[in-house]
A and B are shown apart, each in its own frame.
Chain A
C-alpha cells in the first residue's frame, strides 16, 4: 500500500484504473479544445492570422470535435469509475476495454493529424471516408465513425456484462438502456445523401438526441450514484427520482427535436411541435430546483471532496442558465427565425456545454484524483486550495464573459444582418463590421484568455492536489452515519 498522497494504482479497482486513463486523455483534449478555440477567436479579430496555414474552418472543427470527444472520454471514464462499485463485481472483459481505450485514443490522434495536415480533399466520396465528413460536430471521417461505433459497443459490452454478472441496479438498468440509444443514434449520422434537408434532418438525430437526451440521462445516472455515495440518500429514493428524471427529460427532449426542424425544409407542423415542447423544457429544471431544496432540508451535506462538490453545484447552475435561460430566450420560432445561425447559437452552445457537461466531468475527475492518492483529505484547510478555487473562478469568469460577449454579438447580428438586412452577404458583413460586434469579439477574446489561464491552473491542480496531504479523507455522510 502506497503512502497517503501518492498516486498509486493500488488504490483503484480494475475499472477505475481504466477510468483514470480516459480522464487523462479527456483533460488533454480539453486543452486542445481551448487552444483551437483561442486560435479561431483570434482570427475574428485578425483575419490574416494563420490564413492559408491553419484556417478558421480547421481551428473551429478541432475546437468542437475536441469538445465532443473529451466529454465522451470523460463520460466513459466516469462510467468505468462507478462500474465495479455499483455492480459489486469486477468489470467483465476489462482487457478488451483497455484495448478499446488504446484503439480509440490512437484513432483520435490519427484523425486530428489528418485534420491538421491534410485538412480538405477533393469533392469525392473517398474524402468523406478518409479525411473529413464536413458535417458540424460529426466531421470524423467514416472509417473513424465505424471505429467509434465498435468502441462504444465494446464499452457497452463491458457495462452490460458486468451488471448482468453482478447486481443489476436501477442505475445500471438506465445506464445500459441509455448506452444502446447512444450507440444506435450515432448510426443515423453515418450515411451520405446529396439532399441537404435529409442530411440535416438525420444529423439532428445525432446532435440533439445525444446532447439533449442521452447525455442528460447519462449525467443523471452519474449524479444518482454520487448522491448515494456522498450524501447517503437511500438508493430506492434516488432510483425513483432517476426514473422521474428520465420520464421528464425524454418526455420533453425526444420531441423537443422539433425546435431544430423549423428552417431546414422540414414540414410546418414542426413549428407547433417545437413550440409546444419548448414550453415544457423548463419543467425538468423546476423539478430539480424543488427536489434539491427538499433534499437540502432533509440531509446534512458533508462533503469529503470540496472541489468536486463545488463543481457539482456549478453544474446545477450552469445547466439552469446555459440550457434553461439561454435556450428559452431564442427557442420560439417567432424569434428564432432571426437568431438561427447567428452568434446567439454560439452563446447558448458555450454556456450549455460547459455548464451541463464540462462541470460534471471535472467533478468526477476530482473524485478520481482523491481516491487515486489513497483517499486523501480534500475538505477545508487543504494545502494549495487556492489553485482549485482560482481555476474555477477563472474558468467561470472566462465562460460568462464569452457567453455575454457572444450574446451581444448575436443580438446585433439578429438586428442588422437578419431583421433589417435580410441576411444577404452585404448585410452579413455589415453586421460583422459593426462596432458592437467588433467590441464583443474583443471581449470574447479577453474572456478566452481568462478561460485558458483557468484551464492551465485546473490541469496543474489535478496533477498536484493532495500530493503532500497526510490526512485521510473526511468520512462521507453515508459512512459516518453507518459508523
Chain B
C-alpha cells in the first residue's frame, strides 16, 4: 500500500458510506414503521391473534392445527370465569387489574410470560390450561387459593416455593382473568407439544369431579 493514490474510489469514500449509513438506517426504520402499523393493528385486543378481553366468558382450548403445523387457541362454548358473564368493559377492567397485579408483584422476575422474563419458575403463557390445576371445575378456586397463599404449596421436589406477595382475593381473581385471557393469544404454537387440562364436560350423571390424577394435583404442605 505504498503507492500514493490521490483519488479515493467512490465506493470506498467517506462520503459514500456516510450516505449509505444514513440511507440504510432510514430505510430499515421506514420498513420497521410500516410493519409496526400492521403489527399493532393485528395485536390490538379484539382481533384474530389477540382476542377481545370478553373471551374470558368462554372456554379456551389449545388444539393442533394441521394446516399451520402447531397448536392454536380455540375459543369454545360459553364458560364464564367465576360463573359470571362480563361485558367487554367489565372484562377489560378485570384483565387490566390482573395485568397491573402481575406488574406490581414483579411476576416477571421469576416467571416467564409469553416466554419472556426470568427462569426460576414456570412459564405462564398457558398456565390457565395447565393440568396442575386438576380439573376444570376446581381450577378457578385452586388458582385463587394458590395466589393468595403460595408459600403453603409445594409443586416440586426442589423445595422451591412462591413467596407470599400479599395478593388480595380481588387481585387474585383478576390475575386469573388475565391468565385466562393470555392463554387465548395466538403465539404461533408456543409452547409446543403442550398438554392442556381436560376441559370436556363430564357426562351429566357422572360422580362429582375429583382430581383425576393425584400426582398432578398440588400437594398441600
CB of B12 closer than 8 Å to a CB of A: yes
Residues B191 and A418 in contact, CB atoms below 8 Å apart: yes
Q: A51-B163, A128-B103, A243-B21 are in contact. Are A196 and B114 (CB under 8 A)?
A: yes
Q: Give the residues in chain B near A240, CB-CB below 8 Å.
A: 12-14, 17
CB of A350 closer than 8 Å to a CB of B: no
CB of A361 closer than 8 Å to a CB of B: no
CB of A150 closer than 8 Å to a CB of B: no
Residues A194 and B120 in contact, CB atoms below 8 Å apart: no
Q: Give me 15 A-to-B residue pairs in the complex whose CB atoms sit less than 8 angstroms apart, sorted by A's number.
A: A47-B159, A122-B101, A125-B100, A197-B114, A240-B14, A247-B17, A247-B20, A254-B25, A264-B114, A267-B43, A337-B189, A346-B119, A424-B194, A424-B195, A429-B122
Top 10 A-B residue pairs of the complex, sorted by shortest distance between their CB atoms: A123-B101, A134-B103, A423-B191, A341-B115, A263-B190, A127-B104, A194-B96, A422-B193, A429-B156, A243-B17
CB of A132 closer than 8 Å to a CB of B: yes
CB of B85 closer than 8 Å to a CB of A: no
Q: Which residue of A lies closest to B120 (CB)?
A: A56
A298 to chain B, nearest CB (A): 7
Interface string of B149-163 (1 = CB under 8 A from A): 001000111111101
Q: A198-B43, A236-B14, A429-B157 are in contact. Are A123 and B98 (CB under 8 A)?
A: yes
B65 to chain A, nearest CB (A): 12
Interface residues of B in 154-198 (CB under 8 A from A): 155-161, 163-168, 171, 174-175, 178, 182, 185-195
Q: Which of A57-65, A158-166, A475-483 forms contacts with chain B?
A: A57-65
Q: Give the residues in chain A near B193, CB-CB below 8 Å.
A: 418-423
Identify which of A123, A251, A267 contacts B49 (C-beta below 8 A). Answer: A267
Q: Which residue of B lies closest to A121 (CB)?
A: B104
CB of B87 closer than 8 Å to a CB of A: no
Residues B188 and A268 in contact, CB atoms below 8 Å apart: yes
From B12, B50, B109, B110, residue with most partner A Cβ within 10 Å: B109
CB of B39 closer than 8 Å to a CB of A: yes
Q: Give the residues in chain B near A433, CB-CB below 8 Å.
A: 156-158
CB of A26 closer than 8 Å to a CB of B: no
Identify which of A120, A203, A341, A424 contacts B105 (C-beta below 8 A). Answer: A120
CB of A262 closer than 8 Å to a CB of B: yes
Residues B95 and A194 in contact, CB atoms below 8 Å apart: yes
Interface residues of B in 3-20 (CB under 8 A from A): 12-14, 17-18, 20
Interface string of B69-110 (1 = CB under 8 A from A): 000000000000000000000001001111111111111111
Interface residues of B (CB under 8 A from A): 1, 12-14, 17-18, 20-21, 24-25, 28-29, 31-32, 35, 38-40, 42-45, 49-50, 53, 92, 95-110, 112-123, 125-127, 130-132, 151, 155-161, 163-168, 171, 174-175, 178, 182, 185-195, 216
Residues A135 and B108 in contact, CB atoms below 8 Å apart: yes
Interface residues of A in 194-216 (CB under 8 A from B): 194-201, 203
Residues B102 and A134 in contact, CB atoms below 8 Å apart: yes
Q: Which residue of A lies closest to B172 (CB)?
A: A123
Residues B122 and A425 in contact, CB atoms below 8 Å apart: yes
Residues A432 and B43 in contact, CB atoms below 8 Å apart: no
State A240–B11 Cα separation when bound (angstroms). 11
Q: Which residue of A lies closest to B94 (CB)?
A: A194
Residues B104 and A122 in contact, CB atoms below 8 Å apart: yes
Q: A119-B106, A120-B104, A134-B105 are in contact. Are A425 and B44 (CB under 8 A)?
A: no
B82 to chain A, nearest CB (A): 17
Q: Give the residues in chain A near B156, CB-CB below 8 Å.
A: 429, 432-433
Taking A200-B116, A201-B40, A264-B187 as known contacts, 11 extra A-B pairs with beta carbons closer than 8 A to each other, sorted by chain A number, are A58-B106, A123-B174, A194-B178, A197-B114, A201-B43, A247-B17, A251-B28, A254-B29, A418-B193, A424-B195, A425-B122
